[in-house]
């Protein structure tokens, strides 16, 4: 069997090589490497795909989160509610801006932030909620938006793992990341819409928030060499925008391929006592950024066996954020559901080029340990 990848970026590139090579050559030949037509076109096409008024491209998904928070004009000490079961960037930007991260536990099935526990964590200082649409499935936005409306809170959706997912809110269908006041995403190569380097974007329907996000991402300047505020430098470059514009056309077919692979894994693992296959919530479809099993007894043994057989896997995440050294002032938050998930989750190779043969091979190794 050929080498198994966690994400097969080369296989995916080879399928669309001609188009990708063409856009790269076009950019190289214009000399317009920052800004320009490619960035503008991609931003417009992404806005159309998401049905959102404003897409502001930026340097990466972490900057996208930071820019989103900067646009809200919060004061030091204001509280931002988020999940401890996420990539660090979500919480990092809260702390970087001098805000207080309030960690709220997750739902055991979806791994997304638990709306009931959000309600309990709200204080007079709460200003914003940042749900993360983990592994490719949106958080319960219907419940979260109700809470936000009742308490007058901002909502920033960290959509780095769920771009393209559809979600039902108040009986209406939306693309994930476009329900809250602001949505953010990452174009890190392994994400579902991945560049060939770093990239990110912020989306919003609010023109004033869009103006601020753009301003803060461009050194606080809307007129060259005049500065309205302190900002950062965060841009998507033209090469990445061109590549992303090609891949955006295929995003829905990539999502279908991931779902086919996920269903195949499901069939292979179904009916095994110690294995829980990914749960599907009823209000959101799943774009399977990760295919994550929950294995109560034998997770570490399975990880060991996969390693021995040279099969890549991921433990997303091995530790709730509030237990890591950098967040020790948050250590008293009580998130037992997240802590338990950290001990039981394991993510298997998931990408658009997976075959039945590869998946059966992986499943056999997992099942030998668990059975």
Ligand X SMILES: *Cc1c(COP(=O)(O)O)cnc(C)c1O
Minimum gap (Å) between residue 161 Cβ and ligand X: 5
Minimum gap (Å) between residue 233 Cβ and ligand X: 15
CB 290 within 8 A of CB 193: no
Contact pick of 86, 110, 138, 140 for ligand X (by CB under 6 A): 86
Cα angle: 138, vertex 140, 141; to 5 degrees: 85
Minimum gap (Å) between residue 250 Cβ and ligand X: 20
Which residues sit opposite 57 in a β-bridge? 201
CB 242 within 8 A of CB 46: no
Judged by DSSP in three states, 184 sits in strand
Indicate whether 158 belongs to the interface with ligand X (CB under 6 A). Answer: yes
CB 103 within 8 A of CB 132: no
Nearer to ligand X, 80 or 132 (CB): 132
Minimum gap (Å) between residue 198 Cβ and ligand X: 6
How far are the Cα atoms of 62, 123, 307, 334, 346 from residue 300, in angstroms, in the given order? 30, 39, 11, 24, 9
Contact pick of 55, 122, 130, 132 for ligand X (by CB under 6 A): 132
Minimum gap (Å) between residue 149 Cβ and ligand X: 24
Nearer to ligand X, 90 or 176 (CB): 90
Indicate whether 160 belongs to the interface with ligand X (CB under 6 A). Answer: yes
CB 263 within 8 A of CB 45: no
Indicate whether 87 belongs to the interface with ligand X (CB under 6 A). Answer: yes
Nearer to ligand X, 43 or 186 (CB): 186
Q: How far is CA 330 from the centre of its chain?
A: 23
Nearer to ligand X, 183 or 242 (CB): 183
Site for ligand X in 48-67 (CB under 6 A): 60-62
CB 179 within 8 A of CB 166: no
Q: Which residues here bind ligand X, judged by CB under 6 A? A: 60-62, 86-87, 89-90, 132, 158, 160-161, 186, 188, 198, 200
């Amino acid at each position: 069997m050929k080498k198994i990848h966690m994400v097969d970026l080369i296989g995916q590139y080879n399928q669309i090589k001609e188009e990708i090579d063409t856009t790269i050559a076009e950019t190289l030949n214009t000399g317009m490497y920052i800004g320009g037509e490619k960035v503008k076109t991609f931003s417009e096409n992404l806005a159309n795909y998401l049905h959102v008024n404003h897409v502001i491209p930026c340097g990466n998904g972490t900057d996208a989160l930071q820019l989103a928070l900067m646009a809200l004009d919060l004061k030091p000490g204001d509280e931002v509610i988020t999940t401890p079961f996420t990539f660090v960037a979500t919480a990092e930007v809260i702390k970087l801006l001098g805000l207080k991260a309030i960690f709220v536990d997750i739902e055991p099935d979806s791994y997304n932030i638990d709306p009931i526990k959000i309600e309990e964590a709200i204080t007079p200082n709460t200003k914003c909620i940042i749900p993360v649409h983990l592994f490719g499935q949106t958080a319960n936005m219907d419940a979260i938006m109700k809470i936000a409306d009742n308490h007058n809170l901002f909502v920033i959706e960290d959509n780095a793992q769920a771009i393209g997912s559809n979600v039902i809110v108040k009986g209406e269908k939306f693309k994930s990341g476009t329900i809250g006041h602001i949505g953010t995403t990452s174009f890190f190569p392994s994400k579902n819409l991945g560049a060939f380097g770093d990239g990110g974007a912020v989306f919003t329907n609010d023109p004033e928030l869009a103006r601020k996000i753009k301003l803060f991402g461009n050194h606080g300047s809307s007129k060259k060499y005049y500065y309205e505020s302190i900002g950062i430098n965060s841009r998507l470059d033209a090469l990445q925008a061109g590549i992303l514009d090609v891949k955006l056309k295929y995003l829905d077919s990539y999502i279908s391929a991931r779902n086919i692979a996920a269903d195949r894994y499901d069939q292979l693992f179904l009916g095994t006592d110690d294995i829980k296959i990914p749960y599907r919530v009823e209000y959101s479809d799943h774009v399977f950024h990760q295919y994550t099993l929950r294995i109560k007894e034998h997770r570490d043994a399975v990880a060991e066996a996969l390693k021995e057989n040279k099969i890549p896997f991921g433990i997303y995440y091995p530790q709730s954020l509030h237990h890591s050294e950098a967040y020790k002032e948050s250590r008293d938050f009580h998130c037992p559901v997240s802590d338990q998930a950290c001990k039981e989750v394991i993510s298997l190779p998931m990408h658009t080029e997976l075959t039945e043969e590869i998946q059966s091979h992986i499943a056999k190794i997992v099942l030998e340990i668990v059975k």
